[in-house]
Amino acid sequence: MRHQYHPLGFEGSRIAQGFWRLQEWGWSAQDTLAFVEQCVALGVTTFDHADIYGDYQCEGLFGEALKRKPELRDKMEIVTKCSILLPSEQRPEIKVHRYDYRREHILASVDRSLDNLQCEYIDTLLLHRPSPLMDADEVAQAFDHLFTLGKVKHFGVSNFTPQQFDLLQSRTDAPLIVNQVELSPLALQHFQDGTLDHMQQHAVTPMAWSPFAGGDLFSGQTERTLRVRNVLNELAEALEASVDQVVVAWLLRHPAGICPVMGSGNIERLQSAVEACQIRLSDDDWFRVLIASQGHDVP
């Protein structure tokens, strides 16, 4: 049976807030709720999760906060991921770090996420990493079931190559609307290997994890990092902006419509990213960053 999927693609905020470090922040449920409310007030309504974040605990911490003000659910888009299995005291049945794309695992993972997040549906479910044992037909069956039950509205992937994306899309009527990949001035692979071209071709939203290269753009000491940071500092001074704003603006400048996922619990950092949406880098400035990262001119 063919299901009537909504034709629109990703409808989240231009900047997303990630919660993979939520457990590390040591917040109370009230602290988390206050942060979420501040995010929404800034117009950041897309919240990025995964079942494994924080040793399988971050979704639950977020859910405890949301339970205190459930009406906030209608003002946000929740993205979460499944398929990675990590051995953990929280999940003693998992013995080997691997991937699981069996239909029953996807369905059970979504049910756990819904329980943890204390909500009735997930806006966008992503497959976290591609598996060499992925049976695309079986995944498609899981997607159809979840959509029919109203548990998931949209589907996508994370860290998929264009070929892996096309394989899954060929088996499911559900439009895959997101591919979350690593993108930053120090992570150029997907700018060069056709991944972003593929997403632009198919109107798929790239969500950028680790947009600041895990902090290396601010503190890394390699020759390459120092070279990029020097250019970023020069642009920040010329634009009367901060270095992190220049990085966000550099990602936003790409025509594929990159959605950077912020990972900090500092609301000022998030506000800075939102303000960066008003900065449009010139082609000259964009290529200066690219060339500094490559270490050589474009061909």
What's the angle, vertex CA 184, arms to CA 79 and CA 180, rounded to 5?
Answer: 25
Q: Which of 5, 53, 99, 121 is catalytic?
A: 53
H or E segment and range at residue 205:
strand 205-209
Owner of token pair 């905020």? 13
Q: Quote the tokens at residue 69.
A: 């003000």
Among 180, 202, 177, which Cα is nearest to 129's?
180
Place of tokens 């009537």: 4
Smallest CA-to-CA distance from 187 within 205, 206, 164, 168 is with 206
Q: Is 121 a catalytic residue?
A: no
Closest CA to 73 of 23, 27, 37, 111: 37
- Token pair recorded at residue 49: 């999760």
Q: How many residues does the chain have?
A: 299
Enumerate the active-site residues.
Answer: 53
